[in-house]
Chain A
């Protein structure tokens, strides 16, 4: 257990050099711009969590560049711990991105004034939905990266992310009339909250479990 904890900590140290103030300012500025130009903070929350999903794969990139997979073995870290640790890191990182996005939403809403309660509700539901959705995206991405390595899998592994972006645009286009808008969807979700959350969490868990098993099988066969 302590090795797992230390491994997750090591992943945070691995991405630390990339978590520069410049990158944080750019991400925050884009998110604030989106929050101001759109009617709700949901767009900003979604954007920041997509950034979080991208950053969560950075330990693979840094690891491949510096031969960290061999380092893990010299540190007596088993391959199963590496895979589980990487999944934990990705989820913790995504959750932190979500918290930051919510914090930013509160700040923007304070600045804008207006319907604080319902907008915050929407941002909160968006953060949870994005956490589950990005988690499922990672569940698709991670086995590919564990099998082929970061560089070789980059094209395939980013396809789900591109698909998510296209899906988002499609949804906005489809519901771009007054009768059916995003607020209505959130309304429906709020009407059956338990069922929706139950289905989403179950789907997330199944995806994560299958993905973890695949990644473990692939990573055990890798040679460094």
Chain B
């Protein structure tokens, strides 16, 4: 068994949104970036993995067994905003959650609190956004979790704080029995840290696999206004036309179907999301 997490055909219907047949694997010892625009279904998927909500169909397997609430004991969770009472102090957070973890390590928590410069007497509501994320990370790393699930931990943080968090994640997966599933829409963080990428858009998975494979699957394409015929235009995903020409994304397998005049170059994760999202909207 090479996967710490296996997600199979997850479906969840809401009145205004549906998660459709979401499936991906997170291998042991790696960081999986879970990317997509706001409202694509990232948080819903993570909540389903954590058994916070129930799926309409599909299933999740964690550590080789069917997912259950009990397995959350081995999962460290960092959410967009901390699920702690605003008036709790940093010390209260430990008092509140530590009894629920058999492997809680008091000295480890104290060590992270010190390393992150968190004042044990400070209330959660008095912490900056970056400090709140660090508090959650301290808690997530203090009970010997084998899988870290993070939901947008770096959004709203300055580059220094984001880099620090990315370093922590890389440090975590130096133990090859541990993995990270890291949801974000800040793709630059993933370009530095992620080994694998799952791209979700409008409730459906568009890509899942090695990050390099994704970056090699697509290329950025630009050209003049009359460079493409009607058939070739259909190959350009998220095509945006302007006065001097067009830009968009093309599958690398289709590059040879385009005229030689157009310019193709490497694409970034951010551009993939933007063009893919535009493509989905055009398709709709």
Binding site for B on A (CB under 8 A): 3, 6, 9-10, 13-14, 16-18, 62, 65-68, 70-71, 73-78, 223-224
Contacts and interface: CB of A to CB of B under 8 A. Distances in A.
Contacts of A9: 99
A22 B81 CA distance: 30
A10 B53 CA distance: 22
B233 interface: no
A3 B79 CA distance: 23
A10 B96 contact: yes
B72 A76 contact: yes
Given A76-B69, A76-B73, A77-B69, A66 B86 contact: yes
Contacts of B52: 70, 73-74, 224
B85 A14 contact: yes
A17 B84 contact: no
16 contacts: A9-B99, A13-B88, A16-B92, A17-B88, A65-B86, A66-B84, A67-B79, A67-B83, A68-B83, A70-B52, A71-B83, A71-B97, A74-B77, A75-B101, A76-B69, A76-B72
Contacts of B160: none
Nearest to B100: A75
A17 B125 CA distance: 12
A21 B82 CA distance: 27
- Report which residue of A13, A18, A68 has the largest number of chain B beta carbons within 10 angstroms of its beta carbon: A13
A62 B86 CA distance: 8
Given A68-B85, A70-B52, A77-B100, A13 B92 contact: yes
A179 to B, nearest CB: 52
B176 interface: no
A169 B73 CA distance: 51
B47 interface: yes
B51 interface: yes
A21 to B, nearest CB: 14
Contact of B70 (A17, A18, A76): A76
A155 to B, nearest CB: 24
A71 B97 CA distance: 9
Contacts of B69: 73, 76-78
Contact of A223 (B53, B86, B92): B53
A121 B40 CA distance: 64
Interface string B86-114: 11100010011101110000000000000
Nearest to B81: A67
A66 B73 contact: no
A223 B14 CA distance: 11
A70 B48 CA distance: 11
A76 B102 CA distance: 11
Contacts of B92: 13, 16
